[in-house]
Structure 1
Amino acid sequence: MLVVRPGGPADTDALLELAYLSGKGFTSLPENRETLAQRLELSAASFAGQVDPTEAWYVLMLEDTATGRIEGVAGVKGAVGLQRPHFSFRVVTFTQFSSATSTRFDHQALVLVNECTGHSEVGSLFLRPGRRQAGTGALLARARYMLIAAARERFSQTVMAELRGWFDERDISPFWEGIAAKFFRLPFEQADHMITTTDGQFIADLAPRHPIYLELVPAEAREAIGMVHRHGEAARHMLENEGFAASGLIDIFDGGPTMVVPRDRIATVRDARILPAHVADDPSLAAAPERLLAVPAAAAFRALRAGVLVGDEAIVLSSAVARGLGVGSGDMVMVC
């Protein structure tokens, strides 16, 4: 059985392995044991309600209970941009007109902004290559929204997601090479590493303060603006299905898009219901449609997909599913 559960310090080795598998440009999964260990400590404290909601970082681990192996990871940040600025580029259009020549020009440009302050963020969605099928990605992705639904007061009214930008067949980011590297003058790997292992002061120090006119940058870099990594298309579609939409903001390093949605308009958050569980190994459960289930409490959060019977007053689930969720008859269960 695949179960999504809170991540903690005991998951450091597994999370580091997933970080190595995720590849270049997956900024939220740095290949750094100390950074990941600190994140998992923060995750445990976040689920336990021991940190301010704006400083929380919830790490969700997808575990195969039959083998004990961690098959994927996802995360939710309580808020971004409060301890340090969360910079993005906004794509804007400047219009110029000369009456002397009757000429009009519309210039697209990138402008450095800090518009996401206080937004909650969903991200870090990664699965082992062999697990990217049969709805596993959807389980892990939607578990984040079930967590938000379980503890809405801990999250902002606006939720954002940043998607990894485009890398070519040589695993090079055209946006970085054509635009960002001109200002930071670092190898991409070093800058990417510094995002999660430093206070980010180098971004505030070096990021461009003036508009960057796109007519002046290489075509490959222009074409990469707002493009999603080849492994990120499924994630983009899942975000769109939940109600996320492009914001016009892009990542300052790889040009990947930022998508946003009001918290309460996230489809899974909006449609989730909480009902008491009735545990019974009813034969009709074998043909019951699969639903997304979760424990509606952050401290005890777990989520999985299983065939259940949903009535007006209770959810009927098998004893195996009840064990997977850690619930018994009479306990409250969230279903969507």
Structure 2
Amino acid sequence: MLVVRPAGPADLDHLLELAILSGPGFTSLPEDPDQLSERLDVSRDSFSGKLDPKACWYTVMLEETVTGEIDGIGSVKAAVGLNRPFFSFRVVTNTQSSPSVDVKLDHQTLVLVNECTGWSEVGSLFLKADRRKGGAGRLLSQSRYMLIGAQPELFNENVLAELRGVFTPDGGCPFWDHVAHKFFPMPFDEADLMTGSTDKQFILDLAPRHPIYIELLPEPARAVIGKVHPQGVPAMALLESEGFRPNGLVDIFDAGPTVACGRDNIRTVRDARALTVAIADQVEAELPSLISTGSVSGFRAVRQKVGVDGDVATLSAETADALRVKAGDIVRVKA
């Protein structure tokens, strides 16, 4: 059985392996053991309630219960931009006209902004290549919304997700090469690492102060603005199925899109029901459902069959063991 469960310090080797497999441009998974170790400490303290709610960064792992193998990772940040600015480019359309020559033009520009302070963020969704079938990705993705729905008061009313931008097969990044690198004269990997390990002052110091006219950029850069890395297309589809839509912001390094949705309008948050657990030898249900624990502390999620009768959810003993719940506990169920 696949189970989504909290990540902690003991997962460092697994997290480093996933970071290496994720490749360039996956800002939230740097190939840096120190950063990853710090992140796992934060995850442990977030799930245990030791941190200020706005400082929490919940990281979850997709684990095979029989083998203990870790197949993927996901996360939810309670709030972005509080200690470090959350910079983006906003794509802005400016209209200019001259009646005297009967000309009207729309010019798109990129403007540096810091608009999403305090918003919650779902991110870090990554699965090993051999696990990207059979619903594992959907389980991992939706588990983040089950986490939010378990205690919505811990999260902002606005939720965003950033998607990785386009990279070439040889690891090049067209937007970085033709645009961002002109302002940040360093290797992409160095800038990416500094984004996660510093206060981002270097971005404030070096980023363009004035709008960048998209029409003046080379075609390879223009073509990738707001586009998703091929590996991110399934993640984009999952986000769209939950109600997320592009909000006009793109990443300042790779121009990948940002999507957003109101917390209470996320489909899984909205539709999941809190039910009381009963346990039986056999469960009568045609299709499996998404099931999670009812609180952030000790959070776990699976996709298994569940019998729903009124306010009671009947689970098999195996499912109850995977969730670490007993009869009378509260679970949340999304059909």
Equivalent residue, structure 1, for 2:322: 324
SS of match in other structure, 1:111: strand
Given residue 254 of structure 2, which amino acid in structure 1 is its aligned partner? Answer: D
Instruction: Kindly indicate whether residue 251 of structure 2 is the aligned counterpart of residue 247 of structure 1.
Output: no
* Aligned residue runs from structure 1 range 148-167, under 5 A: 148-167=148-167
Equivalent residue, structure 2, for 1:237: 237
Instruction: Kindly indicate whether residue 288 of structure 2 is the aligned counterpart of residue 308 of structure 1.
Output: no
Q: CA deviation at 1:297?
A: 1.0
Q: CA deviation at 1:313?
A: 2.5
Q: CA deviation at 1:214?
A: 1.0
Equivalent residue, structure 2, for 1:112: 112
Which runs of 5 or more residues in structure 2 are unaligned? none
- How many angstroms apart in 2 are the aligned matches of 1:41 and 1:98? 59
SS of match in other structure, 2:223: helix
- How many angstroms apart in 2 are the aligned matches of 1:61 and 1:213? 41
Instruction: Kindly indicate whether residue 265 of structure 2 is the aligned counterpart of residue 281 of structure 1.
Output: no
Aligned partners of 1:288 and 1:308 also within 8 Å? no
- How many angstroms apart in 2 are the aligned matches of 1:294 and 1:109? 44
- How many angstroms apart in 2 are the aligned matches of 1:307 and 1:73? 23
SS of match in other structure, 1:224: coil
SS of match in other structure, 1:232: helix
What TM-score do you get using the length of structure 1 for normalisation? 0.98
Across the two proteins, how many residue pairs are aligned to each other? Answer: 334
Q: CA deviation at 1:151?
A: 1.1
- How many angstroms apart in 1 are the aligned matches of 2:129 and 2:117? 33
SS of match in other structure, 1:106: strand
Aligned partners of 1:120 and 1:160 also within 8 Å? yes
Q: Which string of whole-angstrom CA distances, capped at 9 and with x for unpartnered residues, describes residues 85-144 of structure 1?
A: 101001111122224433222111101111111100000000011100001000000000
- How many angstroms apart in 2 are the aligned matches of 1:191 and 1:87? 13
- How many angstroms apart in 1 are the aligned matches of 2:229 and 2:171? 10
Which runs of 5 or more residues in structure 1 are unaligned? none
Q: CA deviation at 1:59?
A: 0.3
SS of match in other structure, 2:231: coil
SS of match in other structure, 2:230: coil
- State percent identity of aligned pairs: 55
Given residue 261 of structure 1, which amino acid in structure 2 is its aligned partner? Answer: C
Equivalent residue, structure 1, for 2:133: 133
Superposed structure 1 runs of 4+ greater than 4 Å apart: none
Equivalent residue, structure 2, for 1:209: 209
- How many angstroms apart in 2 are the aligned matches of 1:108 and 1:266? 30
Aligned partners of 1:288 and 1:309 also within 8 Å? no
Instruction: Kindly indicate whether residue 15 of structure 2 is the aligned counterpart of residue 15 of structure 1.
Output: yes
Aligned partners of 1:147 and 1:298 also within 8 Å? yes
- How many angstroms apart in 1 are the aligned matches of 2:55 and 2:205? 24
SS of match in other structure, 1:63: strand
- How many angstroms apart in 2 are the aligned matches of 1:195 and 1:140? 25
Q: Which string of whole-angstrom CA distances, capped at 9 and with x for unpartnered residues, describes residues 49-89 of structure 1?
A: 11111111000011111111111000000100111210100
- How many angstroms apart in 2 are the aligned matches of 1:47 and 1:288? 33
- Greater CA drift, 101-110 or 86-95: 101-110
Q: Which string of whole-angstrom CA distances, capped at 9 and with x for unpartnered residues, describes residues 168-204 of structure 1?
A: 2322111111111110111111111111122211111
Equivalent residue, structure 1, for 2:192: 192
- How many angstroms apart in 1 are the aligned matches of 2:146 and 2:103? 54
SS of match in other structure, 2:304: strand
Equivalent residue, structure 1, for 2:81: 81
Given residue 187 of structure 1, which amino acid in structure 2 is its aligned partner? Answer: P
Aligned partners of 1:47 and 1:299 also within 8 Å? yes
How big is the alpha-carbon RMSD for the aligned residues of Structure 1 and Structure 2? 1.0
Instruction: Kindly indicate whether residue 327 of structure 2 is the aligned counterpart of residue 334 of structure 1.
Output: no
- How many angstroms apart in 2 are the aligned matches of 1:15 and 1:52? 24
